[in-house]
Copies of this chain bind each other. A is one copy, B any other.
Amino acid sequence: MIKKLSLAVIGGTAAGMSAALKARSLLPNLQIAVFERTNYVTHGSCGIPYYIGGEISDYNELITYTPVFLREERNIEVYVGHEVTEIDLNKRIITIKDLQTGKIANNIFKKLVIATGASPIVPKIPGIDSPLVHKVRTIEDSLKIKNDLEKGFVKKVVIIGAGFVGLEMAEALSKWNIEVILLEALPTILPRTNPVLVKLIEDEITKNGVKLYKNTRVNKVVSDIKNKKAEVFTEDGKQFDTNMIIASIGVRPNSQIAETARISVGKTGGIVVNEYMETNIDNIWACGDCVQMQHLVSGEPCWYPLGPTANKQGKIVGENVVGGKVSFSGVLGTQVTKIFDLYVAMTGLSEIEVQKFGYDTALVEISHRDKASYYPNRQNVHIIMLINKSNGRILGVQLAGSVLAALRINVFATAIATGMTVKKLAELDLAYEPSMAPVYDPILISGIIGLKELKRIRK
């Protein structure tokens, strides 16, 4: 007999479980089943580098709720280790594979939420399937990495891909006093990031002993699994011996299952949803890292696999599946990454994007202390701001500095969300306290300099 589900949710991380929990809180008797491919739900993958690095000693701390809790206290049927392999739109059936037993089951759904998330892209090169090669996404990934580290055989690690995950892993692995080699295929790391900030990041990792090689594309991995050794070969003829390889060249939305079912997928690779997070199919919603989003500044489709967005979207879906009509307005892609002692933050459009979308922009670069001139341990906040020349509005901001710098990104995110001009930014009544801000906050300075730059250009 085919089981019938009132609400089926594919994926039990941020978006999927937010949807399930919100629906539960609104409809206490709704039958809800959540299928999660890994063995964990509600885990924060942003915390993985901290678990690897040792700031967090127990991986259970990365997990908000256990399946047992969700079943017993929230009456949500949670199936971990279960992968949904197919969606049949005609029969309204999902096919579920128990990954442990291999058993296949078909369930009829009335309503469906797709929250399949994103997966690391693994470079297609010989030898990449070696057990010495690790991804960084799931709790299982992090357990494998930590397990190898704890065994003590890892003297050298090669990280393939110097994106933000690669950089965070470089820091985390450095804490094990092992040699960390970071390989980037492109001529520059972080192409969305302003070169001034990239230079700060490169200086920070180099200062901390990480060996960065740019323009270095890996084309082969040869493993000696018995002796826990591998050789990493690159296109330009370099060769690195190592005991651990981290593949972190990027992530992509898990939208294949939707695409196969003919649910609409956009040019970003994410599932297309409207403002209510509805797909093009009745009674099927999607949310989180698997969906395409709309950028609040450009109005263009974009894709940012970020936790706060996934959580917010999941909650909205949870409300809408039980009859609500809540909308999601869009994203700015606000994000912060900590790389050793340097925080890098961004919100809104980057230089690549303003070019792509044809904005006529002014770029302002400032560097200003994060505390009063006389206060000890002050550091500079480096701010790059992009301004729409035609109307003075802020299009995007990237900054780097201490944690005090990083928190300032939220003011820019708030300003951009309201379409604020640099003039208005310069007028904001912001706080001054010698230990956390100079009398002219760096945010105000960026507004003042931005205004000056616009005046200069318009002359």
- Residues of chain A whose beta carbon lies under 8 Å from any beta carbon of chain B: 14, 44, 46-47, 50, 55-56, 61-62, 64, 296, 306-309, 311-312, 328-329, 331-338, 343, 345, 347, 372-376, 403-404, 406-411, 413-415, 417-418, 420, 424, 427-437, 439-441, 443-444
A-B contact pairs, 28 of them (CB 8 A): A44-B372, A44-B439, A46-B372, A47-B374, A47-B434, A50-B435, A55-B375, A55-B376, A56-B376, A61-B373, A307-B439, A309-B429, A311-B439, A312-B427, A329-B427, A332-B429, A333-B429, A334-B430, A336-B433, A337-B433, A343-B433, A343-B436, A403-B435, A403-B436, A407-B431, A410-B443, A411-B411, A414-B415
Min C-beta distance of A233 to chain B, whole Å: 35
Q: Which 8 A-B pairs have the closest CB atoms?
A: A61-B374, A336-B433, A332-B429, A336-B431, A407-B407, A418-B418, A414-B414, A334-B429
Chain B residue, CB-CB nearest to A312 = B427
Choose one: B44, B311, B345, B433; the contact of A434 (CB below 8 Å).
B44
State A417–B408 Cα separation when bound (angstroms).
16
User: A308 touching B46 by the CB < 8 A rule?
Assistant: no
State A324–B309 Cα separation when bound (angstroms).
45
The A interface is mostly helix, strand or loop, or mixed, namely mixed
User: B433 touching A413 by the CB < 8 A rule?
Assistant: no
User: A46 touching B407 by the CB < 8 A rule?
Assistant: no
State A411–B428 Cα separation when bound (angstroms).
10
- Which residues of chain B are within 8 angstroms of A436 by Cβ–Cβ distance? 336, 338, 343, 403, 406-407
User: B432 touching A306 by the CB < 8 A rule?
Assistant: yes
- Which residues of chain B are within 8 angstroms of A307 by Cβ–Cβ distance? 432, 439
- Which residues of chain B are within 8 angstroms of A443 by Cβ–Cβ distance? 410
**Which residue, of A337, A407, A427, has the highest number of chain B Cβ atoms within 10 A?**
A407
Min C-beta distance of A350 to chain B, whole Å: 15
Min C-beta distance of A177 to chain B, whole Å: 21
Chain B residue, CB-CB nearest to A370 = B407
**Which residue, of A343, A347, A434, has the highest number of chain B Cβ atoms within 10 A?**
A434
Min C-beta distance of A12 to chain B, whole Å: 16
- Which residues of chain B are within 8 angstroms of A430 by Cβ–Cβ distance? 308, 334, 410, 413-414
Min C-beta distance of A235 to chain B, whole Å: 34
Chain B residue, CB-CB nearest to A64 = B373
Given contacts A50-B375, A403-B404, 9 further A-B contacts (CB under 8 A): A50-B435, A308-B444, A334-B430, A335-B433, A337-B433, A406-B431, A407-B436, A411-B414, A414-B430
User: A347 touching B440 by the CB < 8 A rule?
Assistant: no
- Which residues of chain B are within 8 angstroms of A427 by Cβ–Cβ distance? 312, 328-329, 417
Chain B residue, CB-CB nearest to A425 = B414
User: B431 touching A335 by the CB < 8 A rule?
Assistant: yes
- Which residues of chain B are within 8 angstroms of A44 by Cβ–Cβ distance? 372, 374, 434, 439
With A375-B55, A439-B311: A431-B418 Cβ-Cβ less than 8 Å:
no
User: A413 touching B429 by the CB < 8 A rule?
Assistant: yes
State A154–B345 Cα separation when bound (angstroms).
48
User: A336 touching B432 by the CB < 8 A rule?
Assistant: yes
Chain B residue, CB-CB nearest to A49 = B434
Min C-beta distance of A329 to chain B, whole Å: 5
- Which residues of chain B are within 8 angstroms of A444 by Cβ–Cβ distance? 308
State A296–B306 Cα separation when bound (angstroms).
35
- Which residues of chain B are within 8 angstroms of A306 by Cβ–Cβ distance? 432
Min C-beta distance of A28 to chain B, whole Å: 18
State A312–B376 Cα separation when bound (angstroms).
25
